[in-house]
Amino acid sequence: MSDCSNLVEKVIEGDWKEIGKLTQDEIDCGTKPEEIISQLQHGMEVVGEKYSTGEYFLPDMMKSARCMSLAFEVLKPVVEGGSFGKLGKVVIGTVKSDMHDIGKNIVTGFLKGVGFEVIDLGADVSEDRFAEEVMRHQPDILGLSSLLTTTMHQIGVVIKKLEETGLRSRVKVIAGGAPVTQKFALSMGADAYAEDGGEAVKICKQLVKQS
Q: Which helix (H) or strand (E) holds 201?
A: helix 197-210
**Shortest Å, Cβ 78 to another protein:** 27
Q: Which of residues 101-160 bind another protein (CB under 8 A)?
A: 102, 105, 148-150, 153
Q: How many residues bind another protein (CB under 8 A)?
A: 26
Distance set, CA 186 to CA 46, 55, 192 (Å): 28, 28, 7
Q: By CB under 8 A, is residue 165 in contact with another protein?
A: no
Please give the Cα distance from 123 to 211 (Å, whole number).
26
Q: By CB under 8 A, is residue 193 in contact with another protein?
A: no
Nearest to 79 by CA among 41, 48, 47, 45: 41
Q: Which of residues 6-35 bind another protein (CB under 8 A)?
A: none
Residue from the set 9, 53, 179, 211 that interacts with another protein by CB under 8 A: 179
Mark 69-108 with x for binding to another protein (rule: CB under 8 A) and - for no binding. ----------------------------x-xx-x--x---
* Length reported for the chain: 211
Close Cβ partners of 89 (under 8 Å, ≥ 6 residues apart): 116, 117, 118, 119, 137, 138, 139, 140, 141
Please give the Cα distance from 6 to 199 (Å, whole number).
25
At 166, the amino acid letter reads G
**Shortest Å, Cβ 150 to another protein:** 4
Residue numbers at the binding site for another protein (CB under 8 A): 51, 54, 57-60, 62-63, 66, 97, 99-100, 102, 105, 148-150, 153, 178-179, 181, 183-184, 187, 195-196
